[in-house]
Chains A and B, each alone.
Chain A
Amino acid sequence: MDRMFQRIMRGLVDTGRAPHYAELARALGLGVEEARVLLHDVMRAYPIGWLHPETDYIASFPPLNNLPTQYRITVRGEQRWFAQCGFEATSVTWLFPGETVRVDAPCLDCGDPVSVEMRDGRIVWVDPPGVVGHLNYGFGPSRGRPPFL
């Protein structure tokens, strides 16, 4: 499972999208069906991510998302990535050591921009200065359904 996990995460970092299980099969020297089953095992072991319902497609693999969200991530001037949510957006920096990682999102109230730049975990720029994180449903039992963060 570690090998598949790393392939998925590395694929997301390198290309902005998660590999399909058939691609993972070839990369890992597995049969295609074997890889599909292993993908489900990986997602069960990493339940903060999820497959699109009723499919074998990776939708969310935090901190990144394969399904676009409003949290756009830009690195080296390229906007290829999306964060799972506003909270996970602040940990994308750990996937790009030594790089400036920019998060841009529209505010869900007014649509005006929220922008944060981080480098190796440090916040280096934020606009507007009053940006806050907000947890609308508590963690644990009171949390909303994962696909609807």
Chain B
Amino acid sequence: MNLFRSEEHARRWPAFQARSEEGFIGLAALAGFFATESRHHMLDADYLSTWYPRRGEERRAYLELIGKTSPFWLGTPDPGTA
């Protein structure tokens, strides 16, 4: 999970996986993905018990909001690779 100067830079990276052509995300969308409500509470006394468990559902909702609904992004079983 890296930042690159552009998509072309990422594609030239020797470790670039062909499957990851769908793995690009704009910086603003990425910042939004990591700005869901639970993230605002990482310093709270109850973060681990109260906020961290909400993270997965928040992430899924955000990914759906920005149209990243493939197994690659959602982490759901991928029929294509089973």
Name A residues whose Cβ lies closer than 8 Å to a Cβ of B. 1-3, 5-6, 9-10, 13, 42, 45-46, 63, 71, 85-91, 94-95, 103, 105, 107-110, 112, 114, 116, 118, 121-123, 126, 128, 130-143, 149
Contact = CB atoms under 8 A, between A and B. Distances in A.
**Residue picked from B3, B23, B34, B71, most chain A C-beta under 10 Å:** B3
Secondary structure of the A contact surface, majority rule: mixed
B78 interface: yes
A109 B34 contact: no
B65 interface: no
B1 A107 contact: no
B54 interface: no
Interface of B: 1-7, 9-10, 12-13, 15-17, 19-20, 23-31, 33-35, 39-40, 42-49, 52, 70-78, 81
B81 A142 contact: yes
Nearest to B63: A139
A5 to B, nearest CB: 4
A125 to B, nearest CB: 11
A103 B2 CA distance: 12
